[in-house]
Chain A
């Protein structure tokens, strides 16, 4: 069958499956399993890389390697998996940021912001209370995942092995999921080098339900949604009442706004006049993710989304990212059925969610 016109904009998360990942992260706090898609390899060049994964492990996420730094800003978001308890994380996380290695700890869903070039981590899971663990997603504003590892915990032999592996991959033309470098100047992480200040409190944002399904919005807040909340448009039954939406002004002004929610109900997402297609002046990626830690490739729901001005309808029944380039008409979205709550992550590359309806 010939490929449909907009099929190239629909990317199953499984395309980013990393074989042997479970072994790589064994005995760390890092992911049991995750999918990490980037603009370079998966997202048609969008200046973005993002991940979605399930976590139950304790300990440092990158033993000996942190802190680290990226050339782009990012949001690191820790969320629970209970759709009815949006403020329950089910884990306790210690997170150090800044060159001061300022210590922070949290046990509720939280977004941590790291501006471009900002030193962050180590990141240590100290407790997991939830019997099914928790989830984490990263939103990084670069198409090519790039990290400079500043920790001094790797031995010379380990460093050599890593560099050889990366050089070998480059020779074979294999693109590694992360472009790593190991600057000579290192930062030592220990009890003596960490600090306990409040310089970076603003980079920790509680993930509390805050959209109009949870509370009455102020006029200035509504402005951030563009035309989405005008002309009588309102949430439909398919939307979650527990969505959290952060805008650039919440996140140190980075060019990002994102919305996270676990959806449980079928139906139209946004009601309103007309056919419901809209555009944004910036790129957007819609991520539909399952919440079954035993099967990251199970969505547990069926969703339809219209793409293009002709309202070409696509059906999504597995974890998937939908790329909506700037100016590209998309929506409405209808959840057809739900066997299991599923996560929805809307990533929009602007400080505000400028939206214009076209029909």
Chain B
């Protein structure tokens, strides 16, 4: 295959591996509920200086995620997605999680896939896994809008509060954002007017979903995420074939990452599929065979994407640094 101009834009997720320490009572750095496997990639070290850092981890144990260092704050907004690993059911989390938000550490609990939005400067934490139902645990990814992760740990307040509802608008179930479920588009995802407009846009682009597209996909936009300048999705894929028919490469005016990951916490690098993606206007072809991130600085042509084979359904998420996902097709 000719030329490898864009090889640096595809990285195994393992470049961002975080070594999780064993829990030591009394002096633990990580909480009992911390991820058993986790990666944390940032713009400075891994993502071509994008204004983004993101994590992805597998959680299989109950307990506090951060141990003693509970309440913290970031100078940038952050969105946390809590997702199940049952590739047949995107509405299954398989766990019960408590998140505390605000300086008062108001408590919010959920047991279904959810997104938690943390505006810049809002103290939050701890996160605690209360119960685990799924034998494989669950997953979580977060997207922070800074190329360099920054965390300021704060002292615990003297007294924590139950939820007054003050921050309830920042904790949302994933269900209303589901765009595709069991391979079918969810007509209720958008209000009628918006749905009509999106359908017209799709028609004018001549784009159709291909057989390799998602079995299940939830997609959240800035308006869903308290105005955060980000749109992000989460989905499961199990079929071979082209992802989008009728269109070739496209670009975005903003940075984007595409993350392909397996869902086996014991083998986080195992993708279970082979995926072909074209990068650049030259349509340089790349193959993805392990859990990887594709880094797409603004204006980088990419696609089509073709899933060549699937041995085990895999997960995919993308993070695009604009409130809306705007694609410009170039060929």
Contacts and interface: CB of A to CB of B under 8 A. Distances in A.
Specify whether A and B are partners: yes
Interface of A: 236-238, 265-268, 271, 275, 302, 304, 310-311, 313, 332, 334-338
A50 B309 CA distance: 32
Contact of A236 (B2, B304, B309): B309
Nearest to B2: A310
Contact of B242 (A236, A266, A268, A313): A266
Top 7 closest A-B pairs, CB basis? A267-B240, A266-B241, A268-B308, A336-B242, A237-B240, A266-B211, A311-B1
A340 to B, nearest CB: 13
Contacts of B211: 266, 337-338
A313 B308 CA distance: 15
Nearest to B245: A337
Q: Which secondary structure characterizes the binding site on chain B?
A: strand
Nearest to B307: A267
Interface of B: 1-2, 210-212, 239-242, 245, 274, 276, 283, 285, 304, 306-310
11 contacts: A238-B240, A266-B210, A302-B242, A302-B245, A311-B285, A335-B240, A336-B241, A337-B210, A337-B211, A337-B241, A338-B241
B185 to A, nearest CB: 17
Contact of B285 (A268, A302, A313): A313
B310 A237 contact: yes
A334 B308 contact: yes
Contacts, number: 58
A266 B245 contact: no
A268 B1 contact: no
Contacts of A238: 240
Contacts of B308: 236, 267-268, 271, 332, 334
A336 B209 CA distance: 12
Contact of B309 (A237, A275, A311): A237
A287 to B, nearest CB: 22
Contacts of A338: 211, 241
A98 B6 CA distance: 63
Nearest to A275: B1
B245 A334 contact: no
Nearest to B240: A267
B5 to A, nearest CB: 15
Contacts of A268: 240, 274, 308-309
B299 to A, nearest CB: 23
Nearest to A268: B308
Nearest to A336: B242
A304 B306 contact: yes
Given A238-B240, A266-B241, 14 more contacts: A236-B240, A236-B308, A237-B240, A266-B211, A266-B242, A268-B308, A268-B309, A271-B274, A302-B245, A313-B285, A332-B308, A334-B306, A336-B212, A337-B245
B309 A265 contact: no
Q: Which of B242, B285, B310 has the most CB of A within 10 A?
A: B242
Contacts of B309: 236-237, 267-268, 271
A335 B241 contact: yes
Contacts of B239: 266
A234 to B, nearest CB: 10
A337 B212 CA distance: 8
Nearest to B3: A310
Contacts of B210: 266, 336-337
A194 B98 CA distance: 87
Contacts of A334: 276, 306, 308
B302 to A, nearest CB: 16
Contacts of B241: 266-267, 335-338
Contact of B306 (A275, A310, A336): A336
A271 B210 CA distance: 21
A263 B2 CA distance: 30
B4 to A, nearest CB: 13
A273 to B, nearest CB: 11
Nearest to A332: B308
Contacts of A275: 1
Nearest to B242: A336
Nearest to A277: B1
A304 B308 CA distance: 11
A338 B1 CA distance: 26
Contacts of A236: 240, 308-309
